[in-house]
């Protein structure tokens, strides 16, 4: 049975397209050039911050975020950056009586921004708040604790086979890969995706898949007549 569903943030419930465009503008490079380099970095399995270092050697994300904030152009997100299917999916899963949470690699400002969205979730966890980042096993140990049950009763949903599905599976969780965003479309790890419980293109698909899985996993009730005969 799936008792809890936890979601990655960027690329899963949050569309990062505007964020990437803002970074391209901040670095002073054409957006399509930034996107092309981003794709190449993902395809090679490198840390995404290598994209920034191509254009600005020695780039430090924390330092650069401070500079953006001081210039009145802080990195931020709001309701308009949620994928259209995100809120409805979270609501539908909670309506099934499941524990629903967010757990992703996010900077200091993100937790407050996520809480301000008033999403229908029980838990919000970030790498900054937890002091550990994916794909470290300790991050997924935190997810399991936040889930309030056995690891096998938790489904972790993300767009990255390397940072989401593989380490969540190693922690004993069930996994779901969603194919969207840069990593979802570019990074293909068949051995990882083949072990996922679900592979989807939209969060609209997920509530019915979870409900169907739980219905199939729930022990079938024996008819009263069969139970009575068993005691005769």
SS (H, E, C) 123-152: EEEEHHHHCCCCCCHHHHHHHHHHHCCCHH
Domain coordinates of the chain in residue numbers?
4-14+78-217, 17-70
Contact residues for 141 (Cβ-Cβ < 8 A; gap 6+): 171
Instruction: Give pLDDT tens digits for 118-131.
Output: 999 999 999 999 99
- Please give the Cα distance from 90 to 83 (Å, whole number): 12
Instruction: Give pLDDT tens digits for 14-64.
Output: 999 999 999 999 999 999 999 999 999 999 989 889 999 999 999 998 899
pLDDT at position 227: 42
Q: What's the farthest any 2 CA atoms get from each other in the chain?
A: 82
pLDDT band at 220 (very low <50, low <70, confident <90, very high): low
CATH code for residues 4-14+78-217: 3.40.50.1000
Instruction: Give pLDDT tens digits for 168-212.
Output: 999 999 999 999 999 999 998 999 999 999 999 999 999 999 999
Q: What angle do CA 211, 169, 51 make, to 5 degrees?
A: 110
CB 3 within 8 A of CB 154: yes
pTM of the model: 0.90
The distance of Cα 68 from the centroid of its chain, to the nearest Å, equals 26
- Please give the Cα distance from 87 to 203 (Å, whole number): 9
């Amino acid at each position: 049975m799936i008792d809890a569903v936890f979601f990655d943030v960027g690329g899963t419930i949050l569309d990062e397209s505007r964020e990437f465009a803002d970074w391209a503008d901040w670095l002073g490079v054409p957006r399509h050039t930034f996107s092309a380099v981003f794709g190449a970095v993902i395809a090679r399995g490198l840390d995404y911050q290598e994209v920034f270092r191509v254009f600005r050697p020695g780039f430090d994300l924390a330092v650069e975020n401070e500079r953006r904030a001081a210039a009145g152009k802080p990195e931020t997100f709001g309701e308009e950056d949620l994928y259209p299917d995100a809120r409805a999916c979270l609501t539908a899963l909670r309506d099934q009586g499941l524990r629903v949470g967010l757990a992703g690699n996010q900077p200091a400002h993100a937790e407050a921004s996520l809480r301000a969205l008033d999403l229908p979730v029980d838990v919000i966890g970030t790498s900054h708040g937890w002091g550990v980042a994916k794909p470290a096993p300790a991050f997924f140990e935190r997810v399991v604790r936040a889930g309030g049950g056995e690891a096998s009763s938790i489904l972790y949903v993300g767009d990255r086979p390397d940072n989401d599905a593989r380490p969540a599976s190693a922690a004993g969780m069930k996994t779901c890969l969603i194919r969207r965003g840069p990593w979802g479309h570019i990074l293909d790890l068949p051995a990882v995706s083949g072990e996922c419980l679900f592979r989807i293109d939209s969060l609209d698909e997920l509530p019915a898949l979870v409900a169907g899985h739980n219905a199939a996993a729930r022990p079938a009730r024996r008819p009263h007549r069969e139970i009575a005969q068993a005691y005769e």
